[in-house]
Structure 1
Amino acid sequence: MHKGKGMKFVGDSRISAERKPNVPKDYSEYPGRTEAFWPNFLLKEWLVGAVFLAGFLTLTLAHPSPLEGVADPTNAAYIPLPDWYFLFLYELLKYEFASGDWTILGILVLPGIAFGGLLLAPFLDNGPGRRPHQRPVAVGMMILGLASVMWLTYESAEHVDWEARAEANKPIPASDVEIDTEDPGYAIYENNCMQCHGEDLQGGGAAPALIGTEHSAEEIATIAVEGIGSMPPEQFQGSDEELQQLVDFIVSVNEQAE
């Protein structure tokens, strides 16, 4: 037997001998889908997202969200509000059908239906077209959800004076006045007034600062016993001598501040 005889070579017809360029398939045969996902469609999505992100960052720099003061647990009159992106849910709970006995409806059922509907929108309207008029269910649900959130947020924010809240709740700067803790009036102040007016007489929450007060010594004594405004009477518990020591202490602190 000669070398090379008896050997057979079999070729695979499934492999083309010609190299073809990597060209995306022509999607014109599919209705409503006339471009490749990569890179054409995905590039458009990235561009739109980049424009939105740049606009959002510009808005936050031009109009920073208002920040309030440091939390004060002694301020019983303070009404807390959620951040702006939850204001629409806060406003929803003001309506009769979502508050009171229907609170569960307002905090779980209605938001659950709304967000669940948005998640199901692509499956409820799965037509081949991508134009808005070709996707009436998905587009309609998105417009309804966006309009509802914007309206509820506007209604909630419209009735809140954000600048006044921020100004009223700014932290009070520390006083330069040195408090004489050895003064006999300080011990009386500590037992009767410190809880509301603060350790350094700077006030807190609904209680005003005692430093810089325009009240005279007689008025301070009267207020301590009879109260004023939101301050109830009989806050001071002590003798007349102790009351005088308290008044003298407050007056001496204000004399340092002048």
Structure 2
Amino acid sequence: MAHGHKTDEKIVYVGDSRVRAKSSRMIPQDFSAYPGKSEVFIPNFLLKEWMVGVVVLVGILTLVMSEAAPLGYPADPTNTQFIPMPDWYFLFMYQLLKYPYTSNQFVVLGTVGVPGILFGGLLLAPFLDTGKERRFYKRPIASALMFLSLTAVTYLTYTSWHHYQLELKEKNVIPEHIKREEEMHANKGKAGGEGGGGAKKPAAQAAAIVAPDDPAAAIYQKSTCLSCHGGELKGMPSAKIPALRGVGDKHSKDEILGIIKKGQGSMPAQYDANISKGLTEADIDKLADWLSKQKASK
């Protein structure tokens, strides 16, 4: 160790801090004690996982850029024809909550109990499967949990989507994003075929409500018609529910009574439902008479 500025003074290093060159390469860990194909997690396994993740991410980005997101109409809380559905990766949970033993009074079991069992199984899996075997067909506990989960998720997802298609067919409902896309294409076609500029024609003015002070108008506000056709009788075009303004030009009083008693198209019979709401047969007769007077102004 030097204490002065003499050039011939001997320097003794006490503890060399210089980085030493490695004399041998790093030897990978020996996994021969573990049957099956095994390798170190870092960097071999992690690099493979990263490469697979990148390929999947690129595929998802390609789909996102090539297919536009399906958009429906703005949210309408009065649209009783709308069938809510979650994203596809939640369909299995959505279907699970439809069953009697996971809904209503058992909803806690469906929302907390069953997910708790599933996540609890994942947490306990490392403690239940402690063998050295790496081949899946020789790991009964882990393999059984994996195949049971995949089977359950696949079955519930398919069942949920199948029931949704049947419900659409039964109610004669077209999903909003499909309907909106069809309307956009139809409007583009009309705009291109109207001789040049494609300017939109002004919308026809809706017919006014006839006899709004009639006592039957108050009966209408108490009827089941209100929930679908609205207080202003404008209906819901987005859900193919027609307006009742001008309905008198299409149907007579007797025909309207027949629709109330028997239903029409996707609308079921409303007679019993109105009776249960407190309306009498005379009220329904007055209501049909008032609706038959709803004619477009000439």
TM-score (norm 1): 0.64
How far 1:149 moved relative to its partner? 0.9
Residue in structure 2 matched with residue 112 of structure 1 by the alignment: 116
**Contact 2:249 2:295 (C-alpha < 8 Å) held by counterparts:** no
* In 2, Cα distance between equivalents of 1:216 and 1:5: 119
Is 1:201 the equivalent of 2:234? yes
When structure 1 is superposed on structure 2, of 203-212 and 137-146 the one drifting more is 203-212
How far 1:133 moved relative to its partner? 4.2
Alignment of 1:11-160 (within 5 A): 11-12=14-15, 19-20=21-22, 23=25, 25-31=26-32, 32=34, 34-35=39-40, 37-38=42-43, 40-56=44-60, 69-76=73-80, 80-127=84-131, 130-133=134-137, 135-160=139-164
How far 1:95 moved relative to its partner? 3.7
**Contact 2:229 2:241 (C-alpha < 8 Å) held by counterparts:** yes
Q: Size of the alignment, in residue pairs? A: 241
Structure 2 segments unaligned to the other structure (5+ residues): 1-5, 184-201, 264-268, 272-280
Residue in structure 1 matched with residue 3 of structure 2 by the alignment: none
How far 1:207 moved relative to its partner? 5.1
* In 2, Cα distance between equivalents of 1:42 and 1:63: 32
Residue in structure 1 matched with residue 186 of structure 2 by the alignment: none
Q: Which amino acid aligns with 2:30?
A: E
How far 1:130 moved relative to its partner? 4.6
* In 2, Cα distance between equivalents of 1:89 and 1:62: 29
Partner residue of 1:210 out of 240, 244, 248: 244
**Contact 2:248 2:292 (C-alpha < 8 Å) held by counterparts:** no
Residues 168, 185 of structure 1: CA spacing in aligned structure 2 closer, same or farther, 3 A cutoff? farther
Structure 1 segments unaligned to the other structure (5+ residues): none
Is 1:252 the equivalent of 2:256? no
TM-score (norm 2): 0.57
* In 1, Cα distance between equivalents of 2:254 and 2:24: 92
* In 2, Cα distance between equivalents of 1:41 and 1:12: 39
* In 2, Cα distance between equivalents of 1:177 and 1:109: 56
How far 1:66 moved relative to its partner? 6.7
RMSD: 4.7
3-state SS of paired residue (1:103): helix
Alignment of 1:161-180 (within 5 A): 161=165, 164=169, 167=174, 176-179=203-206
**Contact 1:68 1:167 (C-alpha < 8 Å) held by counterparts:** no
How far 1:29 moved relative to its partner? 2.7
Residues 134, 168 of structure 1: CA spacing in aligned structure 2 closer, same or farther, 3 A cutoff? closer
**Contact 1:203 1:210 (C-alpha < 8 Å) held by counterparts:** no
**Contact 2:235 2:243 (C-alpha < 8 Å) held by counterparts:** yes
**Contact 2:249 2:296 (C-alpha < 8 Å) held by counterparts:** no
Identity of aligned residues (%): 35
